[in-house]
């Protein structure tokens, strides 16, 4: 299997409305699928700044003088653009979530389908993985994670069961976690439950919602007038934040209006109806099934 099959490729690249001499940012470089299409549409004077905090992604960077690779979290977008003497860009693309490469490597611990250490770090240089959270967080914090990031109804009971299990022995591997929660895993649809559980842990390990919020709030100040912000999300928490930001310019979705009743936002939303993958794309790449694409243009 390849590193990662880009999701909603044509729709997202078309959404960027690429100017051949423009400066573009791919905030989630991964296997470079979206970036390659950006480069195909850029002229010789165009530039692409590619971010990825996963060290493995750097091996996919093309030998192209138009590309600058930044091995860091996209929450530092403004800092690194300033470092490279870039004040404004013409488009920013983010394909959020986890890459197929990370899922398919059992040792990264992202998937409940493989027996592995409880890790889930996108940036392996950071200290705290899933095991440290499960073994160290108090029951109230574990409850918050499962409730807010996994949207699991019995979050408190799950947290209590983990605290009880770790008192006997630390939870180190995926099998340990699933054993501690075995009585809660529904026999009719175990994968749905486990997917939400692992999603919650992954979001906490990587501070995904915090990073997304910090990044979004930087984009308006970095975008040229007419530039495009293109974001692909994979779960309701991300999508809600992106939708709120594009509509209002803030993360809460609080709409401010001027004297005439016009919404005051730095963005014009171009996707009144969210764009989702075609049935054909989902058949070819099942991991695209939950993807949602939103596009906004800087006013």
C-alpha distances (whole Å) from 113 to each of 107, 109, 110, 211, 287 are: 12, 9, 9, 27, 14
Q: Between β-strands 223-233 and 292-298, what pairing exists: parallel, antiparallel or unpaired?
A: antiparallel
Per-residue pLDDT reduced to its tens digit, 20-40 = 999 999 999 999 999 999 999
Query: What pLDDT shows up at residue 55?
Result: 86
Name residues whose C-beta falls within 8 Å of residue 42's C-beta, 6 or more positions apart in sequence.
18, 20, 21, 22, 24, 48, 66
Query: What pLDDT shows up at residue 149?
Result: 96
According to CATH, what is the number of the domain 9-100+208-298? Answer: 3.40.50.150
Helix axes 190-205, 208-222, angle to 10 degrees: 60
Query: What pLDDT shows up at residue 125?
Result: 85
H helices then E strands: how many in the chain?
12, 7
Is residue 3 predicted with pLDDT exceeding 80?
no
pTM: 0.92
Nearest to 247 by CA among 212, 226, 271, 214: 271
The answer as to CATH 1.10.150.170 being correct for domain 124-205 is yes
**Residue indicated by tokens 């750097």:** 58
- Exposure of 48 in the CB half-sphere (CA atoms within 13 A): 30
Q: Where are the domains of the chain?
A: 9-100+208-298, 124-205
Query: What pLDDT shows up at residue 108?
Result: 53
Per-residue pLDDT reduced to its tens digit, 48-107 = 999 999 888 999 999 999 999 999 999 999 999 999 999 999 999 999 977 554 455 555
Look up residue 137 and give its DSSP letter. Answer: S
C-alpha distances (whole Å) from 292 to each of 97, 215, 270 are: 11, 18, 14
């Amino acid at each position: 299997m390849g590193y990662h099959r880009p999701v909603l490729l044509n729709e997202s690249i078309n959404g960027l409305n690429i100017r051949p001499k423009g400066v573009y940012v791919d905030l989630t470089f991964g296997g470079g699928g979206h970036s390659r299409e950006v480069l195909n549409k850029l002229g010789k004077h165009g530039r692409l700044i590619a971010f990825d905090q996963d060290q493995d992604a750097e091996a996919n960077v093309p030998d192209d003088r138009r590309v600058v690779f930044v091995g860091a979290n996209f929450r530092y977008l403004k800092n690194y653009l300033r470092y490279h003497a870039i004040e404004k860009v013409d488009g920013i693309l983010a394909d959020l979530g986890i890459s197929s490469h990370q899922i398919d490597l059992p040792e990264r611990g992202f998937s409940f389908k493989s027996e592995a250490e409880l890790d889930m770090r996108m940036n392996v240089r950071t200290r705290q993985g899933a095991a440290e959270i499960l073994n160290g967080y108090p029951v109230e914090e574990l409850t918050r994670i499962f409730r807010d990031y996994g949207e699991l109804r019995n979050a408190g009971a799950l947290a209590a069961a983990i605290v009880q299990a770790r008192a006997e022995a630390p939870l180190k591997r995926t099998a340990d976690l699933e054993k501690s929660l075995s009585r809660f895993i529904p026999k009719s649809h175990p994968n749905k439950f486990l997917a939400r559980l692992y999603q919650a842990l992954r979001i906490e390990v990587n501070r995904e919602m915090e990073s997304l919020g910090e990044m979004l709030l930087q984009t308006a100040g970095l975008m040229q007038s007419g530039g495009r912000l293109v974001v692909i999300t994979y779960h309701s928490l991300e999508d809600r934040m992106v939708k709120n930001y594009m509509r209002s310019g803030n993360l809460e979705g609080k709409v401010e209006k001027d004297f005439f009743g016009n919404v005051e936002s730095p963005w014009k939303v171009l996707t009144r109806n969210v764009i989702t993958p075609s049935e054909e794309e989902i058949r070819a790449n099942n991991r695209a099934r939950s993807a949602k694409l939103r596009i906004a243009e800087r006013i």
